[in-house]
Structure formats: structure tokens, C-alpha cells
């Protein structure tokens, strides 16, 4: 866990609630919220699907690493990563290099995540949901990267408010520890 938290970066698989929780968390903290996918689309002037189709995944991941690098160390920001962002070594390095960014893994079983995705508007636009074998493989590939986060919140069975409260509690504990440490320094 970073000694001082100025940025909170949310990670997890699709359906984890990164954007929903991120928006609510930012509001509760009085911080800004940014979804990295939205920032990528704004930079490229096209959708993620178009970037993948026209330029391929490596070009998308390089753009994603740039966007994450620009924003990961901004003060008072909650940043929601795309589900595959941590697969890219450059993105992982950027996040570990920023000493004030706290990486939070929103964890839930795959079946819970799939159900959430299917209930979400636009679910038909995610053909990846139909290929359960490929989905499971992708989930298992990403899981070790997610588990390297500073903080893991198990979200299954929790309301959005409860997830936000758990993150806020962890940040408050860290701030209290930091203040206590500063008080002891001579």
C-alpha cells in the first residue's frame, strides 16, 4: 500500500463495477473520476472496437499505457482501468512506478461478473460473453495481475455503497497511519 494515497486506480475483470464504483467513490471523496477507456476513445477519436478492428490489440494497448501513464499519478483522481490493462507490462510498470497511486482490485467470481455484464445495457455488444471457454481463459490469465493490487475488495454480495465504504475505510486507515508516522518523525 502506498504511504500516501493521492490516486486510486480500480482494476478487475469486465463486470467488476470499475466505472460504477469509481464514479461513486470519486463523488464520496470529492475527487475527479476518469474511465481509461473513455479517455482512450477521446484521444483516438474512435471507439475501442474501431481501434481494435483498424489497428489491432498491440496498438490499443500502447495507447492505453500512454493514457494510464498520463493520469495515474494525478492527485485526487479515481481512475478505472480497462479489464485487460494490467496484461501489458508497460502499464503495470507505470502503476508500480507511481508511489502515490493505490491499485484496488474489485474481485468477484466469474459467474457473478458474467451475470452483471448480461444485465448491463449494451450486453449484446460484448460477443466475448458467448464464448465461455475463451472468457474463462482470459479471466484466469488476468487474475494473477489483478491479485498484485495493493487492496482487494470482494464485491460479490455487496451493494455498490458497501464496496465504496470498504475502499474509503482502507484509504482512511492508510491516511491515519501516515499521519501517525509523521507525528513520530523528528
Q: Which CATH number goes with the domain that contains 60?
A: 3.40.50.300
- Asked whether residue 80 is domain-assigned, the answer is yes
DSSP class of 159: -
CB 7 within 8 A of CB 100: yes
pLDDT tens series, the chain, 186 aa: 777 789 999 999 999 999 999 999 999 999 999 999 999 999 999 998 899 889 998 999 999 999 999 898 789 999 999 999 999 999 998 888 788 899 999 999 999 998 888 887 665 455 566 677 888 999 999 999 999 999 999 999 999 999 999 999 988 887 788 777 766 554
- State which residues form the domain around 167: 7-176
Q: How many domains does the chain have?
A: 1
Instruction: For residue 138, give every residue at least 6 positions away whose Cβ sits within 8 Å of its Cβ, in sequence order, or none.
Output: 84, 128
Is 130 inside a domain boundary? Answer: yes
Instruction: Please check whether residue 1 lies inside any domain of the structure.
Output: no
pLDDT of amino acid 73: 79
Tally DSSP H helices, then E strands, for the chain. Answer: 8, 5
Inside any domain, residue 181:
no
Q: What is the DSSP string of 85-134?
A: GGGSHHHHHHHHH-TTEEEEEEE--HHHHHHHHHHSTTGGG-GGGG-HHH
Which pLDDT belongs to residue 77?
96
Q: Is residue 16 in a domain?
A: yes
Q: Is the pTM of this model over 0.85?
A: yes
Strand order in the sheet with 7-11: 32-35, 77-80, 7-11, 101-107, 151-154
Give the position of cell 463523488. 27
Q: Is position 182 within any domain?
A: no
Q: Domain for residue 65, yes or no? A: yes
pLDDT, position 9: 96
Task: Give the distance from CA 148 to its chain's centroid.
Answer: 12
Assess if residue 74 is contained within a domain: yes
Amino acid at each position: 500500500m502506498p504511504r500516501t494515497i493521492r490516486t486510486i486506480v480500480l482494476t478487475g475483470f469486465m463486470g467488476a463495477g470499475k466505472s460504477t464504483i469509481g464514479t461513486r467513490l470519486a463523488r464520496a471523496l470529492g475527487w475527479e473520476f476518469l474511465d481509461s477507456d473513455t479517455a482512450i476513445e477521446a484521444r483516438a477519436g474512435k471507439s475501442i472496437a474501431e481501434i481494435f478492428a483498424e489497428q489491432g490489440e498491440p496498438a490499443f494497448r500502447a495507447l492505453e499505457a500512454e493514457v494510464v501513464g498520463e493520469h495515474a499519478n494525478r492527485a485526487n483522481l479515481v481512475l478505472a482501468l480497462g479489464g485487460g490493462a494490467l496484461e501489458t507490462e508497460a502499464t503495470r510498470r507505470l502503476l508500480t512506478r507511481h508511489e502515490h497511486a493505490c491499485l484496488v482490485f474489485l474481485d468477484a467470481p466469474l459467474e457473478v461478473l458474467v451475470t452483471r455484464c448480461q444485465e448491463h445495457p449494451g450486453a449484446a455488444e460484448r460477443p466475448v460473453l458467448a464464448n465461455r471457454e475463451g472468457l474463462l481463459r482470459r479471466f484466469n490469465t488476468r487474475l494473477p495481475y489483478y491479485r498484485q493490487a495493493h487492496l482487494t475488495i470482494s464485491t460479490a454480495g455487496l451493494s455498490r455503497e458497501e464496496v465504496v465504504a470498504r475502499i474509503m475505510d482502507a484509504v482512511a486507515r492508510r491516511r491515519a497511519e501516515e499521519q501517525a508516522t509523521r507525528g513520530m518523525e523528528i
